[in-house]
Amino acid sequence: MTVHNTSSALREELARHRAAGRSIGFVPTMGALHAGHASLVRACVAGSDLTVASIFVNPTQFDDRADLESYPVTPREDEWLLKQHGCNLVYRPSLEDVYPQGLDQGGVAGLDFGQLTERMEGAHRPGHFAGVAQVVNRLLTIVQPHTLYLGQKDYQQTAVLRAMIRFLNLEVTTKIVPTVREADGLALSSRNSRLSPDERRAAGSINRQLSAVVGGLLSGWPTRELERMAMEAMQRQSLLQPEYVEVFDGDTLLPYEDGAPVEELVVATAVRVGPVRLIDNRIVP
């Protein structure tokens, strides 16, 4: 496995692989890697000749400065994990390498995600998706992969990035990898390491509430009622502060109205637990 700190060195090596006809898969990350990231890397190794991962904590997608400043950084462990799972190339750039013209070079010109960013994370984290689109567009320009691997854990992000790829006519296929969870159902997240033992225990009920909503939907309970009950169940726990529980159409990301035809029905939540804000979602089978 080779680690590159500059886009020029990375592109030089990638050009050789491209010339040899190898397919390139790409896994963008912010580091502090865990088994969820490992699962993306494994999917990429299985589906591409060459696996490239990036580690870059992108400041433009953080709406909360304290969250950015306390974001865990574990470079040695990250490299070990990537190597263990068969990654070939790592791009670990400086801020200047990703944004040579400065951070405020703007988002992705002319992109308006409309209803895709009006609710949930888009509503609660102003500027977040503009920053995500900005960095992923930049990384895709540098790596030019055939396939981009994304986690279902960030459901709204996958919708926004797929829309960006369509708008910009980028020649990249996206693959969505299921969420990896702890034994009690808590979705793995780099931010989980900042929870106290009590907060960690309380966080286990986030997935249980999502399961309750999924069960209720399958038995035909009214959607708004289920959302309200899940919110209240979490509000009753002193260590949890839920921001939303929303059942929505996976295509439009608009709230689901009982009985409406949808291809993919999803329930998502964001919950503050101690110093961190966690998100999770479940697709209704």
Task: Kindly list the catalytic residues.
Answer: 37
Token pair 């909503």: residue: 213
Q: To the nearest whole angstrom, how small is the minimum distance from the Cβ of residue 87 to ligand AMP?
A: 13
Please select the residue that binds ligand AMP; options are 36, 107, 122, 250, rule is CB under 6 A.
36
- Where helices occur in 150-278 by DSSP H, the ranges are 155-167, 197-218, 223-235
* The pair of three-digit structure tokens given for residue 126, joined into one six-digit string: 């102003």
CA gap 271, 241 in Å, rounded: 5
Please select the residue that binds ligand AMP; options are 30, 247, 268, 284, rule is CB under 6 A.
30
Please select the residue that binds ligand AMP; options are 78, 79, 121, 154, rule is CB under 6 A.
154
Please select the residue that binds ligand AMP; options are 188, 195, 239, 253, rule is CB under 6 A.
188
Contact yes or no for 115/253 (Cβ under 8 A): yes
Q: Does the protein bind ligand AMP through residue 128 (CB under 6 A)?
A: no
CA gap 205, 242 in Å, rounded: 11
Q: Does the protein bind ligand AMP through residue 177 (CB under 6 A)?
A: yes
Identify which range of 109-117, 176-184, 202-210, 227-235 contacts ligand AMP by CB under 6 A.
Answer: 176-184
Q: Which residues pair with 276 in a beta bridge?
A: 273
Are β-strands 265-273 and 276-283 bridged in parallel, bridged antiparallel, or unpaired? antiparallel
Q: Does the protein bind ligand AMP through residue 176 (CB under 6 A)?
A: no
Q: Does the protein bind ligand AMP through residue 40 (CB under 6 A)?
A: yes
| Count of chain residues binding ligand AMP (CB under 6 A) | 17
HSE-up (13 A, CA, CB side) for residue 175:
21
Please select the residue that binds ligand AMP; options are 41, 187, 214, 247, rule is CB under 6 A.
187
Q: Does the protein bind ligand AMP through residue 93 (CB under 6 A)?
A: no
Identify which range of 37-45, 80-88, 107-115, 211-219 contacts ligand AMP by CB under 6 A.
Answer: 37-45
**What's the maximum distance between 2 C-alpha atoms anywhere in the chain?**
59
Q: To the nearest whole angstrom, how small is the minimum distance from the Cβ of residue 28 to ligand AMP?
A: 6
How many CB atoms within 10 Å of residue 21? 7
Contacts of residue 243, defined as CB under 8 A and 6 or more positions apart, other chains included, come to 124, 269, 270, 271, 272, 277
Which residue ranges make up the site for ligand AMP (CB under 6 A)?
29-30, 36-37, 39-40, 150-151, 153-154, 177, 179-180, 187-190
